[in-house]
Amino acid sequence: MSNKIKIGDTIYVSKFGSRQFRIDCPVCFGKKVIGLILGNDNVVEMSCDYCRHEGLGSPATGYITEWRRDAGTEKVCISEIRSRQTAVGEEVEYLAGSRIYYMEDVFSTEAAALAESEHRATKYNLEQETKAEFVKGKPDKNYSWNAGYHMRAIKNANQKIEYHSKMAKICKARAKGKE
Ligand SMILES: [Zn+2]
């Protein structure tokens, strides 16, 4: 914004409002489970890691929380102007009481401040959405490791069942032999 702003002027500042909200998990789409296709085309279903909020062992929730920005402006009266020369040009700080505003956030009309704020909010929100799109195509690589871990655990458990079933049969047979 221009240097025409003087002490005592009322100016408009581009502001961001923040809002936290829930969206469906971009990995499991709210289903809380995902399928991993193995090399032999078997599909292993497992709990979604991406929407688990409280670390390992806690259940998947099916949603994630994101921040959204809302455009807005603030009207302030300038009480002090600080300016200094730097290698990249002049840097100006506008003060209203103890609060400092920078050249790029300060406008002489509300419409201009709002336009800039809307532009930034749109850009920020788009970045958030793109991030979600990116995640969809590239889920956490830990999934395949987790699948391997669980499948090994199943195999071990099955082997134990087999062993204990065999032992139970032998014991039964021996008990019968004694009768
Ligand atoms: Zn999920």
The alpha-carbon radius of gyration of the chain (Å, integer) is: 31
In a domain, 89, yes or no: yes
Higher-confidence residue of 124 and 145: namely 124
The confidence score (pLDDT) of residue 145 equals: 65
Task: Transcribe 84-123 into DSSP letters.
Answer: EEETTEEEEEEEETTEEEEGGGEESSHHHHHHHHHHHHHH
The confidence score (pLDDT) of residue 115 equals: 92
- Asked if 34 and 79 sit in the same domain, the reply is yes
- Asked if 155 and 88 sit in the same domain, the reply is no
* Close Cβ partners of 174 (under 8 Å, ≥ 6 residues apart): none
Query: How far does the centroid of ligand 1 lie from the alpha carbon of residue 143, in Å?
Result: 12
Ligand 1 ion: residues within 5 Å (CB): 25, 27-28, 48, 50-51
Query: How far does the centroid of ligand 1 lie from the alpha carbon of residue 24, in Å?
Result: 8
The identity of residue 142, as a single letter, is N
Minimum mean pLDDT range among 55-59, 98-102, 145-149, 153-157: 145-149
- Asked if 26 and 73 sit in the same domain, the reply is yes
Q: Which domain holds residue 141?
A: 134-178
Per this entry, what is the length of the chain? Answer: 179
Residue with tokens 């840097």: 91
- Asked if 104 and 26 sit in the same domain, the reply is yes
* Mean pLDDT of all residues in 126-144: 65
User: At residue 98, does pLDDT exceed 80?
Assistant: yes
